[in-house]
């Protein structure tokens, strides 16, 4: 197969890395790639949202399978256009991608499907939203309907904050059109867990449980980021609970989407809030999470290209999809200042020590403990032969081992070998699971 991967972050590096190991893949293109990806794939200088150019490219190279990484490429209808040109592509259509791009759409589907989720109301005008909020007591959550780079959700512990959040989104138009509609929902407490399912429109296969670490600082303090670390599987969330998510969330959601004539194909990322026996869906995403994907790609034991092709072709029920029972952890090395302003172009040192030059004492230790370590590039660039920082999240250091604690130690040991001015990472990734 010739495969085209769309995107340029750590998620896409891990996808390309796994595809590179696939026996059925002999050529990988990546639009646009990064210095890590470029070592194993041919870089294609086309933006992920330039659908016309990507389609032209895929046709001209007779690409057998295209894999869409980032969320912003999906609502453009890239999957619709590739499919109608007879090309195979992994991901949802623009209509199905509304499960992520419109929170009110997702909530309506959940309500129709009987999927457990926080009670909510949707509003298209500020006056009614403000009136509704004044009529409620206690904590609530105000969400801009559209994609707002993860900044559209405000947890409000009093009415004044909720009124401010609505004014911000609907009157000051802080998120542009994404805030034309707002939803107000019940505030939930508990433990947040993510669940992945590979879907082909009709059937789905579970693809792991994860816990993300969204806040920038240890102890979940500070502003939210795209994700500072993740681990998989989540030990507190066993096979019975996984079966429950498939039964109560994934199955009914696929059925409700089908009933509307917009079958969901691709990766369904279910954000859950778990509180004892209570399980509620916080949100859906329609693509692999980052850095969850990096941890998942370490654990995947089957042929990624065949698995994604099966989803695109409506055939996951017959696909061989296997996850290692080992634990994987991903720790993000970020630029100083992120998620606020940060500098780019800072030299990165020490990565070569992990790529083929691991000191022999560490190498022996890792081998004895069955540890595997891999560093994925997220925001890096090559300037005059020197690897430099080029984004907020710079590198994702990923490790897998039979025990989660061992994987965590190895990821930190490897992370410490990589240096760049201002480097920041959380020191408590997976601590909740380790107790
Ligand atoms: P979302 O983009 O909808 O996942 O929201 C972002 C984050 O806001 C989630 O990861 C939760 O931490 C928090 N959140 C969202 N909805 C709720 C809710 N109903 N109750 C409590 N926290 C929430
Ligand atoms: N790490 C969360 C996400 O990719 O949405």
Tokens describing residue 282: 């916080």
pLDDT in tens, 161-188: 999 999 999 999 999 999 999 999 999 9
pLDDT in tens, 305-348: 999 999 999 999 999 999 999 999 999 999 999 999 999 999 99
User: Which of 318, 348, 366 lies at the terminal end of a domain, its last residue?
Assistant: 318
User: Which of 133, 162, 186 lies at the terminal end of a domain, its last residue?
Assistant: 186
Would 54 be classed as within a structural domain?
Answer: yes
pLDDT in tens, 78-96: 999 999 999 999 999 999 9
User: Is the Cα torsion angle 94, 97, 103, 109 positive or negative in sign?
Assistant: positive
Among 10, 73, 212, the mutation site with the greatest number of ligand 2 atoms within 8 A of its Cβ is 212
Full-model pTM? 0.96
Q: Is 188 in the pocket of ligand 1 (CB under 6 A)?
A: yes
> Whose Cα sits closest to atom 16 in ligand 1?
282
275 and 161 housed in the same domain = no
- Please give the share of the chain, as a percent, with pLDDT higher than 90: 94
Average pLDDT, the chain: 96
CATH number of the CATH domain containing 337: 3.90.600.10
Work out the burial of residue 11: count CB atoms within 10 Å of its CB; fewer than 13 is exposed, 13-18 middle, 19 or more buried. buried
CATH number of the CATH domain containing 140: 3.30.1490.20
> Whose Cα sits closest to atom 5 in ligand 2?
289
Query: Which 3-state string (H, E, C) describes 325-388?
Result: CCEEEEEEEECCCCCCCCCCCCECECHHHHCCCCCHHHHHHHHHCCCEEEEEECCEEEECCEEE
Q: Which atom of ligand 2 approaches the CA of 214 most closely? A: 1
Q: Which atom of ligand 1 approaches the CA of 152 most closely? A: 2
Question: Looking at residue 356, what is its pLDDT?
Answer: 80
Q: Is 118 in the pocket of ligand 1 (CB under 6 A)?
A: yes
CA of 226 to the centre of ligand 2 (A): 6
Would 403 be classed as within a structural domain?
Answer: yes
CB atoms within 10 A of CB 208: 21
Among 146, 155, 193, 279, the mutation site with the greatest number of ligand 1 atoms within 8 A of its Cβ is 155
């Amino acid at each position: 197969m010739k495969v085209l991967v769309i995107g340029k972050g750590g998620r896409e590096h891990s996808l390309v890395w796994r595809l590179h190991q696939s026996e059925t893949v002999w050529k990988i293109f990546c639009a646009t790639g990064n210095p890590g990806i470029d070592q194993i794939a041919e870089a294609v200088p086309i933006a992920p949202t330039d659908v016309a150019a990507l389609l032209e490219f895929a046709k001209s190279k007779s690409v057998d399978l295209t894999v869409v990484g980032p969320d912003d490429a999906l609502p453009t209808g890239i999957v619709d256009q590739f499919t109608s040109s007879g090309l195979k592509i992994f991901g949802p259509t623009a209509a199905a991608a509304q499960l992520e791009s419109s929170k009110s759409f997702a909530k309506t589907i959940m309500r129709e499907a009987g999927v457990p989720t926080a009670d909510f109301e949707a509003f298209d005008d500020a006056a009614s939203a403000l009136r509704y909020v004044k009529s409620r007591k206690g904590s609530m959550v105000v969400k801009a309907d559209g994609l707002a780079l993860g900044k559209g959700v405000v947890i409000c512990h009093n009415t004044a904050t909720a009124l401010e959040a609505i004014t911000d989104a609907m009157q000051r138009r802080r998120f542009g059109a994404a805030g034309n509609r707002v939803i107000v929902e019940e505030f939930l407490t508990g433990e947040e867990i993510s669940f992945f399912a590979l879907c082909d429109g009709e059937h789905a296969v579970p693809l792991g449980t994860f816990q993300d670490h969204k806040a920038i600082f240890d102890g979940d303090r500070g502003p939210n980021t795209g994700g500072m670390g993740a681990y998989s599987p989540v030990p507190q969330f066993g096979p019975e609970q996984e079966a429950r998510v498939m039964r109560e969330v994934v199955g009914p959601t696929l059925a409700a989407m089908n009933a509307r004539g917009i079958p969901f194909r691709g990766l369904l990322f279910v954000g859950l809030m778990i509180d004892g026996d209570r399980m509620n869906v916080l949100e859906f995403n329609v693509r692999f999470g980052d850095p969850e994907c990096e941890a998942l790609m370490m654990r995947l034991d089957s042929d990624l290209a065949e698995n994604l092709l099966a989803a695109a072709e409506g055939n996951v029920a017959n696909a061989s999809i296997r996850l290692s029972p080992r634990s994987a952890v991903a720790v993000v090395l970020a630029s100083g200042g992120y998620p606020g302003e940060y500098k780019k172009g800072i030299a990165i040192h020490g990565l070569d020590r992990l790529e083929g030059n691991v000191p022999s004492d560490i190498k022996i230790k890792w081998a004895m403990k069955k540890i595997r370590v891999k560093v994925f590039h997220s925001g890096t660039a090559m300037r005059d032969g020197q690897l430099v920082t080029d984004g907020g999240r710079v590198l994702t250091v990923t490790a897998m081992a039979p025990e989660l604690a061992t994987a965590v130690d190895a990821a930190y040991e490897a992370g410490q070998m990589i240096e760049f001015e201002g480097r920041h990472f959380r020191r408590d990734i997976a601590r909740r699971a380790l107790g």
